[in-house]
Amino acid sequence: MALIKDILQTMEYGPSPESNDHIIAWLGQHEVGFGHFIDGKFTDPAVGASFEVTNPANGAALARVALGTADDVDRAVAAAARAFKSWSKLSGHERARHLYALARHIQKRDRFLAVLESMDNGKPIRESRDIDIPLVARHFYHHAGWAELIESEMPGHQPVGVCGQIIPWNFPLLMLAWKIAPALAAGNTVVLKPAEQTPLTALAFAEICREAGLPDGVVNIVTGEGETGAALVGHPGVGKIAFTGSTEVGRIIRRATAGSGKKLSLELGGKSPFIVFDDADLDSAVEGLVDAIWFNQGEVCCAGSRLLVQEGIAEKLYAKLRARMQTLRVGDPLDKSTDIGAVVSTEQLERIGSLVAKGKQEGADVFQPSIPMPAKGCFFLPTLMTGVAPASTVATVEIFGPVLVAMTFRTPDEAVALANNTRFGLAASVWSENINRSLDVAARIKAGVVWINATNLFDAAAGFGGYRESGFGREGGREGLYEYLVPDHGKPAKGKQAARPVLNAAPSSMTAVAVSSDAIDRTAKLYVGGKQARPDSGYSYAVVSPAGKTAGQAGLGNRKDIRNAVEAAAMAGNWGAATAHNRAQILYYIAENLSARAAEFEARLRSMTGASAKDAATEVAASIRRTFFYAGFADKHDGAVHSTKSRHVTLAMNEPFGIMGLVCPDEAPLLGFVSLVMPTLAAGNRVIAVPSARYPLAATDFYQLLDTSDVPAGVVSIVTGETSGLARMLAEHDEVAALWDFGSAGGTGPVETASAGNLKPVWGGGMRDWASPDSQGREFLRRATQVKNIWVPYGE
Instruction: Please identify every residue annotated as catalytic.
Output: 267, 301
Rounded to the nearest 10 degrees, how much is the dihedral formed by the CA atoms of 481, 485, 486, 491? -140
Cα angle: 425, vertex 426, 429; to 5 degrees: 100
Quick one: CA dihedral 333, 338, 339, 342, positive or negative? negative
Helices (H) and strands (E) in the chain, counts: 28, 32
In whole angstroms, what is the distance from residue 364 CA to residue 384 CA?
A: 10
Packing angle between helix 133-153 and helix 110-121, nearest 10 degrees? 110
249 three-state secondary structure: helix
In whole angstroms, what is the distance from residue 380 CA to residue 17 CA?
A: 21
In whole angstroms, what is the distance from residue 276 CA to residue 312 CA?
A: 11
Pairing, β 648-656 against β 738-741? unpaired
Instruction: Count CA atoms closer than 13 A to 290's CA, side-chain side.
Output: 18
Inter-residue contact 530 to 707 (CB < 8 Å) = yes
Instruction: Count CA atoms closer than 13 A to 634's CA, side-chain side.
Output: 26
Count of residues in the chain: 796
Closest alpha carbon to 696 in 553, 504, 506, 527: 553
Inter-residue contact 69 to 228 (CB < 8 Å) = yes
Q: How far is CA 309 from CA 363, 390, 406, 685, in A?
A: 19, 13, 7, 31
Inter-residue contact 67 to 100 (CB < 8 Å) = no
Amino acid at 277: F
Cα angle: 343, vertex 346, 347; to 5 degrees: 105
